[in-house]
Amino acid sequence: MHEFSVMSQMIEGIIEESKKWNATKVEEVILELGEFTMLGEEQLRFAYEVLTKDNILKGSKLTIVPVKGAIECDCGFKGDMSPSEDTPHRSVPILECPKCGNLARIVGGRECTVKNLRVVVPDV
Ligand SMILES: [Zn+2]
């Protein structure tokens, strides 16, 4: 399960970050999830639940913000890349430029990053 290792690394990073802030609790994690990451939202949520059972993130909320994939081509085409209807489930999309048919570059939608954290910091 790829989602599990991704989430595990992410949570490690969040714990590190919250230590820097002397946070006592993490309330919410806002995660940006790109369309091209091929990570399942449900699996990520499941991993999150399991991995936050007994640490500073316990009981926190996970908000997933989907990021659309975007491609760019040498012919000048630039646009959203939504998986077409006939794309088999969870396979890597074929990045063919819809305009000229050449191979296009991915310019967006590969992120799986923590966008924001809501933590409780004790009053000093
Ligand atoms: Zn093109």
Q: Are residues 40 and 100 in the same domain?
A: no
pTM given for the model: 0.80
Distance CA(36)–CA(32), nearest Å, equals 12
Surrounding ion ligand 1 within 5 Å at CB are 73, 75, 77, 97, 99-100, 102
Q: Are residues 35 and 95 in the same domain?
A: no
Q: Are residues 62 and 120 in the same domain?
A: yes
CA distances, 99 to each of 49, 80, 104 (Å): 43, 13, 10
Q: How many distinct structural domains can be found in the chain?
A: 2
Q: Are residues 32 and 88 in the same domain?
A: no
Distance CA(21)–CA(17), nearest Å, equals 7
Q: Are residues 35 and 96 in the same domain?
A: no
Q: Are residues 87 and 116 in the same domain?
A: no
Lowest mean pLDDT among 3-17, 40-54, 59-73, 78-92: 78-92
Q: Are residues 55 and 86 in the same domain?
A: no
Dist. CA 64 → ligand 1 center (Å): 31
Asked if pLDDT for residue 93 goes beyond 70, the answer is no
Domain limits for position 80: 69-108
